[in-house]
Each structure stands twice: as structure tokens, then as C-alpha cells.
């Protein structure tokens, strides 16, 4: 079990986290996803984050760093994210090559530990990737790891990070790509009262709901956005986004989504899927 212990400087009451998700980077810097140059939108988000001057202790990236499984896309990510000068953690997404990204990102100083402990919170990073298909599945060994984390630290509040949001978003085409064993997953985590949050990506839209006492949050992509509540594939014209979260000592979570202004990265709406 690999766990990273993060000591905050001074006497900080909160852990502050920047979440980035669904970057969809390519081997080529000019690579486009539905007309959006994803390296450019990612860079624009990073610059906006720096200009915000928000304080955050760590960065979490909830999957789909790559769009093409390439070594260069991960190198591009690692070079760019270094400008934030904070510890970076991640989970794989359905567009990633899990084994490859762990190997490459580790060499660039990105954290590959499967859990992080800070103040009275622990963050557990799970893999929901099923190689080369869009839907997700959390294998038993991942659930067992989560159980071990919760059993070892019943005194800690726990946040689970996993690419596929284990909830339907009432968007028919996107819900076919959901975490397919979400009932098993949700029943499993219901057995651990210290689990307060599931933090995800994949749905390329804002989501924040409480189910059975657990908060489920997903976040806009740094590239293209999906139209909420759409029966068929459709793009949302809102700008690329990111999320800021603050975890307090009592188990409370404050969070806010930020976006670039719309109109700067305009996707091609004439396509029927991605």
C-alpha cells in the first residue's frame, strides 16, 4: 500500500485542492478534439489558475490526461503542470493508458501513490479504466484497497477519486458510458461512514449531488464540454473549466467551479460523437 503523507506548512485549518480533469492531450501540440486544440485550452486554464492567485496545497487530475495514449501527451502534461509548483496526483481515465502513464509520470515527479493523507483527511485514488472502451468498471482489488484505507484510518474523513462518476447524469448517450458496476460501487462505499466524497471527471460537465449521505462531484473538462441532460451526443458552448475545493477539519467541503470565458475555445458542433 503506497500512501503519501503531506505535511502542510504552518497550522492550516483547511486542505485546498485544485481539480483538473479530461485534458485529452495529443502527441502533437496542434492536436484537436472536435476542433479544440486541447494543449492550448489546458495551457489557458493553467494560466488562469495562476492569475487567480488562489492558494491550493495539491493538484488532482481525474483522468483522460491523454486522448491518443501517446508518450508525448504525458510528457506535455508533466512539463505544463510543473508551472503550478505543487504536488500532483492523478487517476487514469478511459482515454488513458494506465500502465504507461504511471511509468512516465513517475519519472517526471508526478505522484503515483494510491492514497494521500493530510490533516484528518485521506484521499484514495482508484482506477476505473477498462482498456480501450469508454465505460468504467472498478475491479474488486480496487475496492479492497479502499476498504483497507478506510479500515486502517477510521478516524480520517475519506474522499474517493475515480474517473467515472458512479452516478447517471440523465444524458442517455453519456449514461451508456458510465461506471457499469456503479451499484456495486455505491453499495460498497455505503459501508464506510467516513467516506464523504466521490470526486470524478468523465462527464465533462458540473455535477454536485448528495446521495445516501455521500457527496458526488464531477467537474468540467479543460477541453470540450458536454451538454447536460441531452438525449443524444451534444456539445455545450461553455468554456473550459476547473474546480477548487477546501476540506475542513470537521469533514466539511467547500467547492467552486471556474471557467474560461466562452467563445475562446469553440468546438465543432457538426459532429455526432467523440
**Binding site residues, Fe ion, CB under 5 A:** 22, 64
CA 64 vs CA 25, 49, 55, 93, 148: distances in Å: 8, 20, 25, 4, 26
CB of 252 to Fe ion, least distance (A): 29
Helices (H), 153-226: 172-175, 182-189
Q: For residues 218 and 233, what is the distance between their CA atoms, to the nearest angstrom?
A: 18
Measured from the CB atom, the residue of 25 and 149 that comes closer to Fe ion is 25
Which of residues 93 and 181 has its CB atom nearest to Fe ion in the complex?
93
Whole-number Å distance between alpha carbons of 70 and 101? 9
Judged by beta carbon, residue 54 or residue 80, the one nearer Fe ion is 80
Name the residue nearer to Fe ion (CB basis): 22 or 236.
Answer: 22
CB of 64 to Fe ion, least distance (A): 4
Backbone angles phi, psi at 182, to 5 degrees: -65, -30
Sheet holding 88-90, edge to edge: 88-90, 58-61, 15-20, 241-247, 253-259
- Give least dist CB 23 to Fe ion, A: 8
Q: To the nearest whole angstrom, how small is the minimum distance from the Cβ of residue 216 to Fe ion?
A: 17
Q: Which is nearer to Fe ion, 57 or 236 (CB)?
A: 236
Q: CB within 8 A of 210, min separation 6: which ones? A: 216
Amino acid at each position: 500500500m503506497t500512501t503519501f503523507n503531506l505535511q502542510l506548512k504552518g497550522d492550516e485549518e483547511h486542505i485546498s485542492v485544485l481539480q483538473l480533469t479530461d485534458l485529452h492531450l495529443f502527441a502533437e501540440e496542434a492536436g484537436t478534439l472536435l476542433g479544440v486544440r486541447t494543449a492550448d485550452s489546458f495551457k489557458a486554464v493553467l494560466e488562469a489558475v495562476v492569475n487567480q492567485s488562489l492558494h491550493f496545497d495539491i493538484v488532482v487530475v481525474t483522468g483522460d490526461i491523454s486522448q491518443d495514449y501517446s508518450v508525448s501527451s504525458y510528457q506535455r502534461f508533466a512539463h505544463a503542470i510543473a508551472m503550478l509548483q505543487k504536488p500532483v496526483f492523478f487517476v487514469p481515465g478511459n482515454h488513458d493508458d494506465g500502465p504507461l502513464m504511471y511509468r512516465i509520470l513517475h519519472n517526471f515527479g508526478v505522484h503515483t501513490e494510491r492514497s494521500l493523507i493530510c490533516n484528518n483527511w485521506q484521499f484514495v485514488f482508484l482506477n476505473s479504466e477498462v482498456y480501450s472502451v469508454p465505460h468504467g468498471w472498478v475491479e474488486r482489488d480496487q475496492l479492497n484497497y479502499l476498504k483497507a484505507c478506510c479500515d486502517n484510518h477510521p478516524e480520517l474523513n475519506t474522499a474517493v477519486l475515480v474517473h467515472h462518476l458512479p452516478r447517471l447524469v440523465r444524458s442517455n448517450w453519456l449514461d451508456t458510458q458510465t461506471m457499469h458496476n456503479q451499484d456495486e460501487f455505491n453499495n460498497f462505499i455505503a459501508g464506510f461512514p467516513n467516506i464523504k466524497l466521490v470526486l470524478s471527471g468523465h462527464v465533462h460537465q458540473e455535477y454536485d449531488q448528495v446521495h445516501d449521505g455521500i457527496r458526488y462531484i464531477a467537474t468540467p473538462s479543460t477541453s470540450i464540454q458536454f451538454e447536460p441532460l441531452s438525449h443524444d451526443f451534444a456539445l455545450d458552448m461553455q468554456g473550459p473549466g476547473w474546480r477548487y475545493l477546501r476540506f475542513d477539519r470537521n469533514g466539511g467541503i467547500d467547492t467552486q467551479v471556474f471557467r474560461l470565458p466562452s467563445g475562446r475555445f469553440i468546438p465543432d458542433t457538426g459532429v455526432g460523437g467523440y
